[in-house]
C-alpha cells in the first residue's frame, strides 16, 4: 500500500537564513505510530508544521496522496490533525461541547450535526460527561482529551501530537497511552518522553541538526544515543 505520508528531500530555512531542515526523507504507513525524537531545535516541530502546510519549504510533501500546497490545503488539513503541546491553546470556547464542535462547524456542518459529531468524539475519549463544563475547570489530562476530541470530530486520517505528556502526571500519561492505542488513525508523536514513546510507538526516527540521523525502534535509538528510560516526573 502507498504511504499515508511521503516526504522527499524537504529543506527549510528561517527568515534569518538559519537552516532548520536539511533534506528530510520520511514515510508513514497506515496504522503506524512513529515517535520523532531529538533535542530541542533539531527540526522535529518545524518538520511537523510542513505536514499540513503551516510552513512551506523546498522538496515534496504528500499526505494521503495529495501534494501539500495552497490548492490542497483545506483538504489536507482535514486529513491530518495537530494536537499542540499546550492544550489550552486549542480550547477557547465557553463549553467543552462548543470547543469540540468548532471544527465541524468550520467545515460546513449544521449546528445540530456538528454537536452530534462533537458528542461522538467526546464519547470516544471518555469526556462526554464534561460536555457542558467550561474547559478551564478541567484537569490537564482532561484538557488533553478534549483537545484530541476536537481533532477527532473532523475525522482525520492522521494525528500529530506535540509533546503529548507535558503537564500530565503518571496516571494521566498511562490513560493517554491507552487512549492513543485505541484510536485507528496513524500517529506521529513529537516527544522527549522515552517511556511514553516506548509504550505507544511502533517505530522512531531521530532528528539532529535538521536531518533524520537514525531510524528504528525506540529502544534501538535510545541505546545508540545512550539514553535511559527514567520515569518522567509530572510538570
- Rounded to whole angstroms, how far apart are CA atoms 124 and 152? 9
Q: Are 188 and 27 in contact (CB under 8 A)?
A: no
Name the grid cell of 146.
Answer: 478534549
Residue 231 maps to a domain: no
User: Domain tally for the chain?
Assistant: 1
**Which pLDDT band holds residue 85 (cuts at 50, 70, 90)?**
confident
Q: What is the dihedral of CA 213, 215, 162, 96, to 10 degrees?
A: 170
State residue 235's pLDDT score.
39
Residue 235 maps to a domain: no
State residue 15's pLDDT score.
87
State residue 80's pLDDT score.
94
Dihedral sign, CA of 78, 82, 87, 92? negative
Residue 232 maps to a domain: no
Residues 89-132 have pLDDT tens digits of 778 899 999 999 999 998 889 999 999 999 999 998 889 999 99
Residues 164-201 have pLDDT tens digits of 888 888 888 888 899 899 989 999 999 999 999 999 99
Residue 233 maps to a domain: no
State residue 232's pLDDT score.
46
Three-state helix/strand/coil letters over the chain? CCCCEEEEEEEEECCCCCEEEEEEEEEECCCCEEEEECCCCCCHHHHHHHCCCCCCCEEEEEECCEECCCCCHHHHHHHEEEECCCHHHHCCCCCHHHHHHHHHHHCCCCHHHHHHHHHHHHHHCCCHHHCCCCHHHCCHHHHHHHHHHHHHCCCCCEEEEECCCCCCCHHHHHHHHHHHHCCCCEEEEECCCHHHHHHHCCEEEEEECCEEEEEECHHHHHHHHCCCCCCCCCC
State residue 229's pLDDT score.
59
Residue 234 maps to a domain: no
State residue 204's pLDDT score.
96
Sheet bearing 80-83, strands edge to edge = 80-83, 158-162, 186-190, 33-37, 203-208, 211-216
Residue 209 maps to a domain: yes
Residue 46 maps to a domain: yes
**First CA to last CA across the chain, in angstroms?**
41
- Rounded to whole angstroms, how far apart are CA atoms 122 and 132? 11
Residue 217 is part of a domain; what is its CATH number?
3.40.50.300
**Which pLDDT band holds residue 215 (cuts at 50, 70, 90)?**
very high
State residue 234's pLDDT score.
41
State residue 173's pLDDT score.
87
Average pLDDT over residues 146-151: 91
Residue 204 maps to a domain: yes
Domain residues for the domain of 170 are 5-225
Residues 35-82 have pLDDT tens digits of 999 998 899 999 999 998 899 999 999 999 999 999 998 899 889 999
User: Residue 221 above 60 pLDDT?
Assistant: yes
Amino acid at each position: 500500500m502507498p504511504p499515508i505520508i511521503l516526504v522527499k528531500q524537504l529543506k527549510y530555512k528561517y527568515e534569518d537564513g538559519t537552516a532548520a531542515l536539511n533534506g528530510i526523507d520520511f514515510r508513514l504507513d497506515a496504522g503506524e505510530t512513529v515517535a520523532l525524537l531529538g533535542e530541542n531545535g533539531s527540526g522535529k516541530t518545524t518538520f511537523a508544521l510542513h505536514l499540513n502546510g503551516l510552513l512551506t519549504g523546498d522538496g515534496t510533501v504528500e499526505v494521503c496522496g495529495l501534494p501539500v500546497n495552497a490548492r490542497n490545503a483545506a483538504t489536507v488539513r482535514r486529513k491530518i490533525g495537530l494536537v499542540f503541546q499546550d492544550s489550552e491553546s486549542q480550547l477557547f470556547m465557553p463549553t467543552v461541547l462548543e470547543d469540540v464542535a468548532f471544527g465541524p462547524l468550520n467545515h460546513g456542518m449544521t449546528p445540530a450535526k456538528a454537536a452530534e459529531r462533537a458528542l461522538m468524539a467526546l464519547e470516544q475519549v471518555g469526556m462526554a460527561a464534561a460536555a457542558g463544563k467550561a474547559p478551564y475547570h478541567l484537569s490537564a489530562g482532561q484538557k488533553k482529551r478534549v483537545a484530541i476530541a476536537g481533532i477527532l470530530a473532523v475525522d482525520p486520517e492522521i494525528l500529530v501530537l506535540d509533546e503529548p505528556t507535558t503537564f500530565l502526571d503518571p496516571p494521566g500519561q498511562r490513560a493517554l497511552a491507552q487512549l492513543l492505542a485505541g484510536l485507528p488513525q496513524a500517529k506521529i508523536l513529537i516527544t522527549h518522553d522515552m517511556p511514553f514513546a516506548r509504550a505507544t510507538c511502533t517505530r522512531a526516527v531521530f532528528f539532529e541538526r535538521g536531518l533524520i540521523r537514525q531510524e528504528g525502534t525506540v529502544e534501538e535509538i535510545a541505546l545508540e544515543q545512550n539514553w535511559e528510560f527514567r520515569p518522567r516526573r509530572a510538570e
